[in-house]
Structure formats: C-alpha cells, structure tokens
Amino acid sequence: MTIAIDAGNTFVKIAVFQSDIILYSERFRSGDFLGKISGLLKQYGEVTDIIIASVADVFEKDLEELQKMVKVHILGTLTVLPFKNRYATPGTLGADRVALVSAACREYPGQNVLVIDSGTCITYDFLNAEGEYLGGAISPGIQMRYKALHTFTARLPLIDSTRLDDFIGNSTASSISSGVLNGVVNEIDGVIDQYKERFEHLTVILTGGDLDFLSKQLKSSIFANSNFLLKGLNYILELNKNQ
C-alpha cells in the first residue's frame, strides 16, 4: 500500500492506494498534518511508501517524524517523471502541476490532454500526444477573485458563493457573483477553445476544489476527476520506489 499527499495552499489532500485503486481519500486543513498521517499509518498497517507534493510549507519537524515511520518520497527536481518536460523553467514548475501532467500521461497515453485544476489558482497544463509537456497558464481562482474585489475596493463586500442564477446581477452581491463566476466559466471555455483550434482530438480533464460547480457550467465536453492529482502522485511513486 502507498499514500499520496498533496499539501496545497489551503488544504492537504491524501489518498491511500492499493496498487492504482484508491481505498480511502480525505481533505483537511494543514494544522493536523502529522496526526492525520500517523492515524492512517496505524489504520493501514501495510503502507510501505508515502509521496508528498507540496506547494505550501510542510513543517520539517513533521517530515522528520514521518520518516521515522515509513519511507517518504518528496516530489522534487531529481524525481523521475513519465513525460518530457519542455517547460522553459522546469525548476519553477509546481509539484501539483507535475503530478497532474503525470496523471494525464498515465490515464491518456498518446493523446493531446489539457488538465484544468480549479483550486486557489486555476492552472492549465498541456501534454501533447508525443508525451511532451509544453506548459499552460495560471490565473486566479474563484475565492481569490472574490477576495481581490473586496480588498482592492472601498465598499464591495466579501462574497463566498458558487451560485449563479443569472448573468445579470440585480444586487451588488449578485453582480459580484456574476462577474466572478461568469468570468471564470467563460475564461475556461475560451481557453479550451483556443487549445482545440491548435490541437486536434483534445481531451480535457477538470479537477480541483471547484470541480462540482464548474463541471455543471462549462459548455465544453470534459472529464471530471476529483482525485486526478493524487493518482498522478501515486504513478510517480511507482516510478521512483527503487530510486
């Protein structure tokens, strides 16, 4: 058994794998990192390896304690990957994006794949049919856009909503929601159309915290997969167990 851990900007996401099958998954805030993982190691006594991808700070003391219990792999620049990285600055490519592209490589070999991760940021990552990662884009996520409108204006309230009844807002709150949510939906549909114009037979994967809302709003045909990143991490772990 293995455990894949994605320590993101807001939440830690984990999954316990038996080969490539997810036995258990959970999302929690980062404050109880070591306690959660220790509990899973006790519950699933056959775990031999853990892989961690982090775009946030995972406390060194937690990692030191974890390494006493199980073999820990940290996704980094020396990690063996299943794709050819054509990114101009590969050292700056986030661990979360690396994992998503790895999942695309495993799940959709020989295809042009656009992976969209809708979390704190919205990331777009493109893998071509030759197994080459070309790059993508990063834009603000839904909550970041709400916070920006509130922070950089004098009177706009802070909204927290994924409800879009009509694109014509009839109050300040509904106007903000329309601007943010309608803007995000049209952005994603527009980006997908750009890729479709350049690459034939495009497969689009949507994942991330705002998956439920966006999957119902997008006009483009997509595959929704809430555990895509964790599956990518588990695949990377398979390639690196003996390294």
93 contacts: CB under 8 Å, gap ≥ 6? 85, 87
Give catalytic residues, as residue numbers: 96
pLDDT value for 12: 86
Alpha-carbon span 74 to 95, nearest angstrom = 10
pLDDT band at 56 (very low <50, low <70, confident <90, very high): low
pLDDT value for 89: 95
Write out pLDDT tens, residues 107-160: 999 999 999 999 889 999 999 999 999 999 999 999 999 999 999 999 999 999
pLDDT value for 154: 92
Alpha-carbon span 111 to 85, nearest angstrom = 16
pLDDT value for 57: 62
Mean pLDDT, residues 47-58:
81
> Is-contact 98 189, C-beta < 8 A?
no
Give me the amino acid identity at 176: I
58 labelled binding-site residue: no
Report which of residues 175 and 29 the model is more confident about: 175
pLDDT value for 58: 61
CATH second-level architecture of 84-231? 2-Layer Sandwich (3.30)
pLDDT value for 55: 54
pLDDT value for 83: 97
Q: Where in the chain is the domain with CATH 3.30.420.40?
A: 2-74, 84-231
12 labelled binding-site residue: yes
Write out pLDDT tens, residues 59-95: 677 788 888 999 999 998 889 999 999 999 998 999 9
219 labelled binding-site residue: no
Q: What is the mean pLDDT of the chain?
A: 92
Mean pLDDT, residues 190-206:
96
End-to-end CA distance of the chain: 18
> Is-contact 126 215, C-beta < 8 A?
no
pLDDT band at 7 (very low <50, low <70, confident <90, very high): confident
pLDDT value for 221: 87
Per DSSP, the three-state class of 219 is coil
CATH second-level architecture of 2-74? 2-Layer Sandwich (3.30)
87 labelled binding-site residue: yes
Alpha-carbon span 119 to 151, nearest angstrom = 20
Q: Is the pLDDT of residue 8 over 80?
A: no
pLDDT value for 62: 79
Write out pLDDT tens, residues 219-229: 988 999 999 99
117 labelled binding-site residue: yes
42 labelled binding-site residue: no
- Residue (of 231, 172, 169, 176) closest to 13 by Cα position: 231
